[in-house]
Structure 1
């Protein structure tokens, strides 16, 4: 049975040349240089570069598996033979059912979360590792595309991502390497050589960061409740209908956060610094809280912007502008 290298529709590369590993070594050296600078600008560059290293290794891990599957044309022939009514063959059925076709391969090529999903299915990543890697990629996008990543979080994200990338490199087993090539194991050591992670200290900083975010939301909710009470009282006194504009909807959104929910967020934020068993465990707990806070923080920030604008307008009026 012809496998991909011998079929006309083969589209996977199963061999990485020495140059493809050399530029990864250069990239890792640059990551170490940026991380050592210990400032926000270099931390952002390091985060972008680490994310690229992870995408490359994850992509090569996927390709190392796809390269061994039968070609699409061969699988199509087998499917036609099976569908013609021949005697069932469990091995052939499994090969056809597990084959990754061109549309699916295109999805894998285009999206990191599709690659990590594939690797979880093939027991290369755990579900928790996939969740962390996908979220780290979102943090990279926040820094690169939108410039919205919290500044006081970047240095710890860089350190955590370096450790996770090193673990991925150490586990990667390419199909073949050219003689004299610096392999993934050596690159893994290069990425974290001399680095030490005080996991408890990192957990403490993640906890402080999360608590600050929760406190900001609590203040926004308290402000929204005060404004909404004043609006309701004024409408009742004047016999006017309740406002139904965008600002009213914003107040309703923030008022919908119950004290019980806010307390649970504060408890989860504080609890990040306790019972820390591993980096992945810490990141999973932070990411869960992070996603919950992400849903409401735009409303809290919008209220703050509106109030700042109102205050500026009030001061301008007093000054006669």
Structure 2
């Protein structure tokens, strides 16, 4: 049994989500190969080769893969798929863009967002916004799987010595083209992998008021997040959204400020190790999952907390 993990990267650095996905693959018990599909991505392949548990790295390096277009990456995966029993993607925006295309072309059912591996053909995954856990068994010859990265501790990024093998690159499918990319630059940690997250909700009232969280995040070395309500209201950018329709996070510390705790938000952060909630409504659902709750006016409590830190 050989497993293929699709690496997530930016053509220069291997993303941490790949190490979590390798950890899930390791529980299947077979040889693990990692596909790095990109352009001028030798450095990424070298990083993947050092990951613990990886037997081989396949490097598909070509212009058609430079921008990670889902159609081209899917075609590259399909060109290799026949040699594998399992194909694993991180359940990130990129992974969830490519995996369904691969599953459809292989005519198999995608197994989405797994949180545990029970056996090579049986997995668990959350349903109903995490309120129930489904056990899913697949009889498909090739299993296409997306992995909830927060459910698996990543393997060590150093210590491995896998061989890097170049593979033939697929031609451009011509189905899509890259127009442009606007990348938000920040000195803060990446939200999905941050050890500490400070999130704001609709209770902050405006985009200007949202800035009250900056000093707290600075003190804690935290990433900033937001509820869907705050994002929809324009208080925070879309890529800060935490929840079922945003990013799934599980930091060591999650601070929820002015967030009521709707089910869709809780689904994205309730696996955090320690949850702190600040809300003036004592009946807010967020207090049901919080380890520490403060019923207070956030505009008074947050500056006081910053001062105390």
Q: TM-score range by the shorter chain?
A: under 0.3
**Quick check: which one's strand share is greater?**
2
**Quick check: which one's helix share is greater?**
1
Which structure's CA Rg is the greater one? 1
TM-score by length of 1: 0.20
Report 1 or 2 for greater relative contact order, CA contacts < 8 Å, sequence distance ≥ 6.
1
TM-score by length of 2: 0.20
